[in-house]
Amino acid sequence: MSSPRVTLKDIALACGYSANTVSRALRNDAMLSEATRGLIRETAKKMGYIPNTMASSLRSGRSRMIAVIVNDLHNQHYCDLINRMDAALRRENYTLMIFCMQLDDSLAEKLIHSAISLSVDGILYFPCFGQQHYVEYMIDNRMPFLLLDRRLDNVEADLVRNDDEQGGYLAGRHLAALGHRRFLFLSGVEKSSSQVDRLGGFLRALDDCGIPRENVRIVPGAAVEDAVAHERIGELVFPMDYSAIVSFRDEVAYPVMQVLRECGVSIPEDVSIISFDNLRGTDPTRPFLTSIYTDGQNIAELGVRMLLERIADPELPPRNMILPVRIFDQGTTAPPKPAP
């Protein structure tokens, strides 16, 4: 049977002070002498005392906890962002709590409810299309929140994301300038605004370059995810009726590159490939891959700062931050081979 939790009263009995004095000492009350504070802190440490943060939050009105709600922790892009957010919050003396939907969007409302019931100070939320009512739920509960990485139509709320439409356009212009005219586009999930915007920007670039949209073979996101999960990438990339691949994210591009190389296809000599997220920027052990992402400001750090500003001043007008992106050229695109 586990021992009962150490309380302020236990510490008071151990060191001969009142529970109120112990509480003040552990809050570092300068009205108490340093000797008294030191003795009480040392006693608490030896006894294994752990503060009751929920009780403290009731007294102060702040829990110093922030929830992040994300739909897929298998995606390294999200892991990188959460790692950056955690570091940024720690610098401000906040603790990050992670809630994951495991690709089940229907869990979003339940997770938001859980975060609010735990008295978090704010929520960092990765939204999908059709989730406007979840935003209304947070507003109705007066919960400070910020939307990350994706937009929601007809929603006025704090938002920080990359310019995905610009990213898709840059990919299209880059490949067209190299001379490519036939493409394979490996999509992301359809509920993501990033997928809609990246594909839209890419097709706009082809329009501007006079390349027919019929020259693009678009693979739906569900088919891409299923092929990756069941190691059937070959079903997507063959036949090779294209000279360049645009992948919605790096984590799909990497297995695609591996399958092509195993089949004797050289990159970029035989096929060019460009992707999004620039995972190699945070993990230099990854293979070289030409990828598109922000340069400088990161949505994780910016999102944390904006949320903390919202917590400090709930009356701020909604802010929409869209970060420019650029191509990180790492050698996986080149002019196509001349036709035989």
Fold category of 164-295 in CATH? Rossmann fold (3.40.50)
Q: What is the mean pLDDT of residues 192-207?
A: 96
Same fold, 63-162+296-324 and 164-295: yes
Fold category of 63-162+296-324 in CATH? Rossmann fold (3.40.50)
Q: What is the mean pLDDT of residues 137-146?
A: 91
What rounded mean pLDDT belongs to the chain? 90
Share of the chain above pLDDT 90, in %: 64
Does residue 101 register a pLDDT over 90? no
Does residue 1 register a pLDDT over 50? no
Identify the sign of the CA torsion 260, 262, 263, 266: positive
Q: Report pLDDT digits (tens) over 14-37.
A: 888 888 888 888 878 888 889 888
Q: Report pLDDT digits (tens) over 172-195.
A: 999 999 999 999 999 998 888 999
Assess contact for 293 and 277: CB atoms under 8 A: yes
Q: Report pLDDT digits (tens) over 242-272.
A: 999 999 999 999 999 999 999 999 999 999 9
Question: Considering the entire predicted model, what is its pTM?
Answer: 0.83
* Chain length of the chain: 340
Domain ranges (residues) in the chain: 8-51, 63-162+296-324, 164-295
Measured distance CA(251)–CA(247) in Å, rounded: 9
Written as one string, the DSSP assignment of 214-225 is GGEEEEPHHHHH
